[in-house]
């Protein structure tokens, strides 16, 4: 396969590719990706406060941090296949709704177990959104704009994490909302994006949608191969260390270095911002935008 062929959307997406890009739809989908990733960024700065309020052991703090990742890593493939066979717009809107409800439920948690369950539900909303939103980008993006759109999409996880890391101190310390208020503000932010999504993004007419001729099992067989699993393993190793470092960095800086919450969150936010920039740059390299191959 040539590099030009490798950089195109999948054949099913290409069948429905428009002649010109609807950047409003693409940007709304990317904004929704950032919004659901807020759920990753709200935990690191709030973790010291949650741990103190609930008297959490280290393993319980780790469970709060990793619960979303565990759920997404074990269900992502199946959620992706399911989301790919139905209207991506409806699936994404449902995912945003789950994220909002789970965030509000987490804010009302009175001990470790309800908060952990809420985090798992947030993970369900997160993986469902992240599996369906790229399909929306593909539906509304012309082939020539696909590399740029997906390069920006690559920044959603570190970018959404960075936004909340940088905003958390202002909300928790200076705004006086506490970690529960941070959960509520995050849910309201997702609700705002979901409202815009509902008003502006609609499923394409049937004649403009891609035709899905494969069964779910055929999709799975196509996805599960040595090359794909090797890439998944590499992404797993990278994501494991990145989320572990960024999630616990504020706590480590506060406990071991005596930093204030604001300073610790700022340092952690800078790490996430650099990762977001690196994600975009790496995507552009891979898509032959920075250096043509």
pTM of the predicted model as reported, rounded to 2 decimal places: 0.81
Residue closest to 271 by CA, chosen among 162, 179, 168? 162
> Which has the closest alpha carbon to 13: 272, 209, 287?
209
User: Which residue segment(s) compose the domain that 107 sits in?
Assistant: 21-286
Tally of domains within the chain: 1
Considering 146-160, 225-239, 273-287, the range whose residues carry the highest mean pLDDT is 146-160
293 pLDDT more than 50: no
- How does pLDDT run across 47-66, given as a tens digit for each residue? 889 999 999 998 999 899 88
Rg (alpha carbons) of the chain, rounded to whole number: 19
Percentage of the residues of the chain whose pLDDT score is greater than 70 = 84
The per-residue pLDDT for range 115-141, each reduced to its tens digit, is: 999 999 999 999 999 989 998 998 899
pLDDT per position as a tens digit, 170-179: 888 777 788 9
Q: What length is written for the chain?
A: 293
pLDDT of 130 reads 92
Distance from CA of residue 263 to its chain's centroid? 25
CA distance 143 to 193: 26
Q: Which residue has the higher pLDDT, 289 or 44?
A: 44
| CATH number, residue 64 | 1.20.1250.20
Residue 202 lies in a domain: yes
217 band by pLDDT with thresholds 50, 70 and 90: low
In terms of Cα–Cα distance, which of 188, 189, 184, 190 is closest to 133?
A: 190
Burial of 38 (0-12, 13-18, 19+ CB in 10 A): buried
Tell me, what's the pLDDT at 208? 52
Residue 292 lies in a domain: no
Helix (H) and strand (E) counts for the chain? Answer: 12, 0
The answer to whether 38 and 189 are in contact (CB under 8 A) is: yes
Identify whether 65 is part of a domain. yes
Residue (of 101, 134, 133) closest to 120 by Cα position: 101
Residue 11: closest CA among 287, 292, 282, 222: 222
On whether the CB atoms of residues 165 and 270 are closer than 8 A, the answer is no
CA angle 43, 46, 49 (to 5 degrees): 140
In a domain, 129, yes or no: yes
Quote the CA–CA distance of 263 and 240 in Å, as a whole number. Answer: 24
Let me know if residue 16 belongs to a domain.
Answer: no
Cα(182)–Cα(288) distance, integer angstroms: 40
pLDDT of residue 248: 83
Q: Could you tell me the pLDDT band of residue 15, with boundaries at 50, 70 and 90? A: very low
Asked whether the CA dihedral 187, 172, 114, 132 is positive or negative, the reply is positive
Q: Find how far residue 166's CA is from the centre of its chain.
A: 17
Asked whether residue 146 is assigned to any structural domain, the reply reads yes
Residue 293 in any domain: the answer is no
Give pLDDT, residue 29.
96
16 pLDDT band, cuts 50/70/90, is low
Burial class (CB in 10 A: 0-12, 13-18, 19+), 44: buried
Report yes or no on 6 lying in a domain.
no
Q: pLDDT band at residue 190, thresholds of 50, 70 and 90?
A: very high
Mind listing the pLDDT tens digit for each residue in 102-121?
Answer: 999 999 999 999 999 999 99
Cα–Cα dist 117/174, whole Å: 29
Better-scored residue on pLDDT, 77 or 26: 26
């Amino acid at each position: 396969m040539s590099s030009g062929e490798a950089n195109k959307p999948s054949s099913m997406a290409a069948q429905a590719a428009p002649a010109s890009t609807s950047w409003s739809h693409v940007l709304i989908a990317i904004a929704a990706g950032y919004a659901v990733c807020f759920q990753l960024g709200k935990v690191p700065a709030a973790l010291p406060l949650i741990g103190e309020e609930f008297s959490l052991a280290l393993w319980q703090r780790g469970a709060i941090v990793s619960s979303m990742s565990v759920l997404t890593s074990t269900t992502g493939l199946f959620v992706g296949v399911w989301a790919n066979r139905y209207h991506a717009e409806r699936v994404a809107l449902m995912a945003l709704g789950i994220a909002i409800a789970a965030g509000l439920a987490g804010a009302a948690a009175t001990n470790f177990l309800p908060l952990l369950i809420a985090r798992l539900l947030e993970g369900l909303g997160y993986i469902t959104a992240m599996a369906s939103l790229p399909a929306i980008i593909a539906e509304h993006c012309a082939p020539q704009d696909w590399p740029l759109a997906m390069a920006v999409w690559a920044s959603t996880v570190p970018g959404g994490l960075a936004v909340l890391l940088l905003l958390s101190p202002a909300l928790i310390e200076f705004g006086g909302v506490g970690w529960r208020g941070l959960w509520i503000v995050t849910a309201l932010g997702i609700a705002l994006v979901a409202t815009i999504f509902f008003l502006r993004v609609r499923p394409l007419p049937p004649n403009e949608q891609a035709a899905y001729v494969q069964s779910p099992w055929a999709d799975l067989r196509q996805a599960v191969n040595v090359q794909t699993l090797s890439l998944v393993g590499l992404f797993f190793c990278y994501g494991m260390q990145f989320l572990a470092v960024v999630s616990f960095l504020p706590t480590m800086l506060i406990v071991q270095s005596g930093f204030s919450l604001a300073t610790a969150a700022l340092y952690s936010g800078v790490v996430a911002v650099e990762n977001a920039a690196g994600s975009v740059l790496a995507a552009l390299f891979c898509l032959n935008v920075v250096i043509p191959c």
